Every structure is written in C-alpha cells, then in structure tokens.
Amino acid sequence: MVNLELYRVFYTVAKCGSLTKAAQELFISQPAVSQAIKSMENQLGVSLFNRTHKGMDLSAGGGKLIFKQVEEALKLLDDAESKLTEVKTTATGSIRIGATDSIFSHILSEKLAEYNEKYPAVKLELISSTSPYTLSQLKEGKCDIAFLNLPAEDDEIRFYGTVTHLSDTFVAGVKYSDLKDKTIPLKDLQQYPVLMIEENTVARRALSAYCETVGVQLNPDVEVANWDFMKKLVIKGMGIGCIPREYCKAEFESGELFEVICEPSLPVRGIGIALAKNVSLSFAVKEFLAMFETD
C-alpha cells in the first residue's frame, strides 16, 4: 500500500498545480516533492500528472481518477485527528451559532466575547436570522447551536435548556407621555398606532395567540423586521411598540422610552438552546454550552 504521506504530497501538488508551491506549503524541498510523486507513480503503475510548462495537471487516466477519493479520505483523517485534539483542554475548530439579531446583541454578545477570549483558536460563525429559519438551518446540519425564541416544538431537534426569559410589553416615547404611569385595558391599545414585529416570527405568533385567548384583536399599523429598528420608530413617535422589556433597558434608563402598562399584561416567553439530534458534540461546542449552565 502507498504510504499515506505520499497521498498528502499528491493532494497538495494537485491543489497547488505546482511543485514549487506544493513544496512551500508542505515545508519540504521541491526535489523531495518531485521524488515523492515519482515514487507514488511507480508504486501505482500509472502517471498521475501531466508535466507542462504551466505546472502540474492531473492526468485523465491517473490523477483525475483518484483525486476526489484522496481528498475525502484526507479530510476524514484530519477530522479524526481534530476529535482527538479536542479531547485536550484547548478547544479548536469552529462553532456555527444561529440566533436572531436581538438575541446576539442583547443575550449572547458578552458570552461570545468571553468565549473568544478563553478559546481564541475557535472560529465563531454567527448565523443571524429569524428563529424559524435558524431552526431549519439546525435541522439541515448547517448550524451547531441554535438560540430560539420559544415556544418552538420540533421532534427533529433536542432542547438543551432555557437561557433566559423575555417579558413582552408595550412601550412608547415622549409623544405619548400622557399614558405614562397609567394602566389601560389591552383592547384600548387599538386606539393608537401599534407597531409589531413581522408575522413570520415566533414572537408575533405568540402575541397574536395570547390576544385571541383574551378576546382582543390588535392589528398593527406598522410591521418591522427587528426590535432595534422598532425602538427607533417608537422613539420618533410613530406609535406604541410591542417589544421585550429586556431589550429596552438602556432606553428606559435614558427616558427615551417608557412602559405602557396594560391589563392584562402579556405572558413571559423564553429563549432556548436547541441542538441537532443524534449529533456528537465537539469539545468546543461543549465548552460553549457549559457557559450557560452556571447562569
């Protein structure tokens, strides 16, 4: 059987298209690369490359026939080595994390910075979208950890736990300061311009479902795609917005926004961690999840 290192040399030459570039990438001399290719060709009994003035091209009857399988085999071996490396105390590799812009900004930003400081070798790939899309990415294997607005029931995933809770509430700016410190019936909000998050979100469906149970129908005058933009519009006086209280702390403190107290109040929701079923967790992912176990 051909030595594994010869296959690595073959793959590098094929990828670089040049003996010189391959030698630089492998940190060996060009004659050593050339000798390795000749040795492999002798052992296999075929010519793997066509030598041209432009460089090294895979031969139709040799190199092209095995390149894909060699590439896949080397990747499997590299993955196996990475798993063994991850058993050690230093996390490596990458983590693909899916969440909404608001969850990243208000809930995960400090954790991400803390994790990056502890494990700088781990690449954090942040996939920002709505919870339904994030869920689909998780199920398709394009995401390792999903932070979802709850409720989100799906038999194809496993829930790891709840990160925090969100208290949806109505907020307004100075234009509606006459409502400050008053309690108004939820149904009376329809007398004012109302801003809501767009329909294809968990938060909007939860709000609509709750309003229906208490016999209230709120039809938004303005729909927006994210909470931060909604806050800006509410501050400008475009209406009363429905936003999680936890996302408005800075604006409450500055006085730009105040809470419109309604009766009945809206129920509390949660932010949960979801993982794909039947997928083993890397050391890097386990370490990231561990940051939420102490909270």
How much of the chain exceeds pLDDT 70, in percent? Answer: 96
Q: What is the pLDDT of residues 205-259, one digit of tens each?
A: 889 999 999 998 888 999 998 899 999 999 999 999 999 999 999 999 999 999 9
Q: Which of the four pLDDT bands, split at 50, 70 and 90, describes residue 133? A: confident
Report the alpha-carbon distance of residue 131 to residue 203 in Å, rounded.
Answer: 9
Residue 150 confidence (pLDDT): 82
DSSP 3-state assignment of 60? Answer: coil
Sequence-ordered list of residues with C-beta below 8 angstroms from that of 170, at least 6 positions apart, any chain = 189, 240, 241, 242, 243, 259, 260, 262
Residue 110 predicted with pLDDT over 60? yes
| Short-list 245, 166, 236, CA closest to 206 | 166
CA distances from 4 to 30, 65, 85, 166, 190 (A): 19, 17, 20, 54, 71
Q: What is the pLDDT of residues 161-180, one digit of tens each?
A: 888 899 999 999 999 999 99
Residue 86 predicted with pLDDT over 70? no
Residue 113 confidence (pLDDT): 95
Supply the DSSP string of 228-280, one letter for each residue. Answer: HHHHHHHHTTS-EEEEEGGG-HHHHHHTS-EEEEEESPPPEEEEEEEEETT-P
Both structure tokens of 65:
């026939």
| Short-list 141, 130, 72, CA closest to 99 | 130
* 258 conformational bin, left if phi > 0, alpha if psi -120 to 50, beta if neither: beta
Q: How far is CA 268 from the centre of its chain?
A: 24
pTM (2 d.p.): 0.61
- Return the axis-axis angle of helices 30-44 and 19-26, rounded to nearest 10°: 110
